[in-house]
Structure 1
Amino acid sequence: MEIPRVSHRFAQVGDVRVFYREAGPSDAPVLLLLHGFPSASHQFRRLIDALGTRFRLIAPDYPGFGHTEVPDGFTYTFERLTDVVEGFVDAIGLDRFVLYTFDFGGPVGLRLAMRRPAAVAGLVVQNANAYEEGLSDLARGMIANRPGVAGAEERVREILVLPVTRDQYEGGTGDPALVAPDGWTLDQHFLDLPGRKEAQVALALDYHTNVAQYPVWQQWLAEHRPPALIVWGRNDPFFPEAGAHAYLRDLPDAELHVLDTGHFALEECLPQIAPLLADFVDRTWAPRTLRIAVIGATGNLGGAVSREALDRAHRVTALGSADVDVTDAASVKDAVAGHDAVVVAVKGPDHLVPRAVAAVLAALPAAGVGRLVFLGGGGSLLAPSGERFVDSPRFPQVYRETALDQAAALDLLRTAQTPVDWSYVSPPPVHLVPGDKTGRYRAQARDTPLTDDAGESRVTVGDYAAAVIDAVEQGSFVRQRFTVGY
């Protein structure tokens, strides 16, 4: 009989001391377990016992929950919780994980996923809502409590008491005898500690910011299509069953299981959920090895993409001008036949880029290749004025011809009647800078640059290449232009 050895540790994230539980082999697939309200990492104790010899399970406590320690004056918002969880991921060296989201773990986890898309090997959603139809009247009433609303704080405090805490566990269950009292008892202990109710009030009054993010998260899900397992207690009084089915609009390939239980589905249905979770991790952790042809692999960006693909254990055919005439469909067909995907990174005189698009679109169906990612330019992105950057008199003249060719290539892709699942990726219009992969980039389908808090659009070559291979692996941004930035 194998029983996991569970460690209980702290990680320092700035001035926050994050408590977490960890079990499993250091080289095993990683499950990052994000808890809900009003609980903490202890809600995953039985799951850790069930799977902790097979996988590496890591469960942190958020600020304001469990054993995590915060300084006086900590600001409790969902953005700040995500900041701390992101810092925690860095502090313990996690660069890839299956993300388990429950309740509050939904808004924290989806914010984290948008910041670290390459880190998310798979997404597990358990009663973690991201859709309007997944909000009950009870939930909507709580979300209406926000700063400045008369009586809002008092209404939140009314739910921070033992009868309500207990009902969150037992409500909607088929057999309350299967729900241990330890969970709600420990939750209430933490809720009654000095300062904890104030933390929960602040988060409750901030919850409306999550609902405002629903369209953004839905767009991210639809564009990135992470492998997903959705497990839902149908009798949840906060997040009804419709919220589970809504995910299928954006994740049509997700695996969905609706169980006859309540909000804390793991309490009653661990015997059903644990095998589903184990099977999901086994299927999603090791990505399929792809055969990728990179046309233009001798160039700076094509070379970076080739190296990133090789680092992920894909089979790469690096093609230069000596190997293929990218403007000749027959040459392209012969060079890429037998591959799963083609990445094109070319530029040159005599309108080489749009001629290459025409040849590649003609060649790929004949070669039996259905996936294309074309590395385009940032000059065709739109400035705040609405004009393309390439059309501005301030655009560097030395790059104008190439930028116009790349814009023409995008127009050809958008108007082509083709079975090829193409994507066109634009770097920032100016700041595609030398540098290694950090894994902290964002990628989004849009015609304007992605900017940071300072309004600057930039990304390293390493992160740009990683976003390209993400799109190849995930089949994301099909028939769309996307861009990358911090």
Structure 2
Amino acid sequence: MVTLDPTVDPTVDPTVDPTVGVPSARPEVGASVVADGIRTNYLEAGAGRPIVLVHGSGPGVSAYANWRLTIPALAEQLRVLAPDMAGFGFTERPADVRYELATWTDQLLGFLDALGLERASIVGNSFGGAIALALATQHPDRVDRLVLMGSVGVPFPITEGLDAVWGYQPSPEAMRRVLDYFAWSRDLVDDELAEVRYRASIQPGFQESFGSMFPAPRQRWVDAMVTPDEAIAALPHRTLLVHGRDDRVIPLATSLRLLDLVPRSRLHVFGQCGHWTQIEHTAAFNRLLLDFLTEE
């Protein structure tokens, strides 16, 4: 089990090879299991009903970077598990891996299998929402409740923000532009944060894998992550949709479409919020998730 300290700087020189994910003192690196043939780094905290958090696809992202403010709050009542998906964070990067929806969906299913979890609730953020949707539609018996945050998974024209995120080429200036798309509040984005996130994005192996995932033209990668409407409409799960009203990366229209399609869904929209609902409205977001995941 890993204790998360959100004040720890996650950009110091690695103490492990990030292609292997061997446990170390770094907060981003936890335990590891082999999930569908990929050695997968994951964080774990708490006890009780299992909840799996699937991160988004920003440059330098990891489960820790995405969920460090969420895990401690959920862990007060739940068993929280947050894996680094293939190509991200401190999970193995096999030379022959294909970075595509099927790979990540199979890895997530393999992660449940490796931990002996017959059923778990899944929280998917952005790119992670597409993975969560795919798992829930293909293996509905393995999913308890479903949370989709600013989710990919239905068709939409790629935004300028998402094109910039997926097309990121490392520099502090480029990272500042990416962060400007993510956050509504200017108080969250400054040159210091951009420098910290830039250094995170250039750790060994990080940009090499990220840069290969979404080459231009990038609309095809949005389309490749779509789950068919009829499959989404057949979902039996209680589903919470969360979106920032001012999201410039994934448009609010995607969650409105999911609200129309998913029979047992509800939607919470945060005003004055961009793509970082879990960061810009941390306390309210955590309470919203905890209430939904624990209600009878």
TM-score, scaled relative to structure 2: 0.77
Partner Cα separation in structure 1 for residue 138 and residue 222 of structure 2: 15
Q: Find the counterpart in structure 2 of residue 13 from structure 1.
A: 35
Tell me, in whole angstroms, the C-alpha distance in 1 between the residues paired with 2:38 and 2:192: 26
Once the two structures are TM-superposed, the CA of residue 21 in structure 1 deviates from its matched residue by: 0.6
Tell me how far apart the structure 2 counterparts of residues 193 and 175 of structure 1 sit (CA, whole Å): 27
Q: Are 1:199 and 2:209 counterparts? A: yes
Query: Which residue does 2:261 correspond to in 1?
Result: 250
SS at match of 2:281: helix
Kindly indicate whether the alpha-carbon contact (under 8 Å) linking 2:137 and 2:232 is maintained by their aligned counterparts in 1: no
Deviations 1:191-222 (A, max 9, x none): 32344333223321487255255351x22221
Aligned-pair distance for 1:67?
A: 1.1
Unaligned regions of 5+ residues in structure 1, if any? 143-154, 287-486
Q: Distance in 1 between matches of 2:3 and 2:128?
A: 25
2:285 to 273, 284, 292: 273
Q: CA deviation at 1:85?
A: 2.0
2-structure distance, mates of 1:96, 1:186: 37
* Map of 2:139 onto structure 1: 116
Is the CA contact (8 Å cut-off) linking 2:51 and 2:81 kept in structure 1?
yes
Q: Which residue of 1 aligns with 2:252?
A: 241
Q: Which runs of 5+ in 2 are unaligned?
A: 5-26
Cα separation, 2, equivalents of 1:194 and 1:5: 24
1:177 corresponds in structure 2 to 187
Structure 1 residues 134-154: Cα deviation after superposition (integer angstroms, max 9, x where no partner): x45426867xxxxxxxxxxxx
The 1-side partners of 2:67 and 2:174 are apart by 20
SS in 1 for 2:282: helix
Seen in structure 2, the aligned counterparts of structure 1 residues 186 and 55 have a Cα distance that, compared at 3 Å, is: farther
**Cα deviation digits, residues 91-147 of structure 1 (max 9, x gap):** 1112211111111102222222233211111111111123334x45426867xxxxx
Between the aligned partners of 2:111 and 2:175, the Cα distance in structure 1 is 27
Aligned to 2:87, the other structure's residue is in SS state: coil
Task: Assess, with a 3 A threshold, how the Cα gap between structure 1 residues 140 and 113 changes in structure 2: closer, same or farther.
Answer: same
> What does residue range 376-455 of structure 1 map to in structure 2 within 5 Å?
none
State yes or no: 1:61 paired with 2:88. Answer: no
Q: Partner of 2:18 in structure 1?
A: none
Q: Indicate how the Cα distance of structure 1 residues 162 and 233 shifts in structure 2: closer, same or farther if over 3 A, else same.
A: farther
Identity of aligned residues (%): 26
Aligned AA (1:265): T
Rate the CA distance shift 1:117–1:92 in 2: closer, same or farther, 3 A: same
CA RMSD for the aligned pairs? 3.0
Once the two structures are superposed, what CA deviation does each residue of 1:264-315 show, in whole Å capped at 9, x if it has no partner? 22111111111111111112xx5xxxxxxxxxxxxxxxxxxxxxxxxxxxxx
| 1:82 Cα deviation from its structure 2 partner | 2.1
| Number of residue-to-residue matches in the alignment | 265
Give the alignment partner of residue 99 of structure 2, picking from 57, 66, 76.
76
> How far off is 1:71 after superposition?
3.1
Q: Distance in 2 between matches of 1:110 and 1:189?
A: 31
Contact 2:136–2:235 at 8 Å: present in 1 too?
Answer: no
Aligned to 2:226: 214
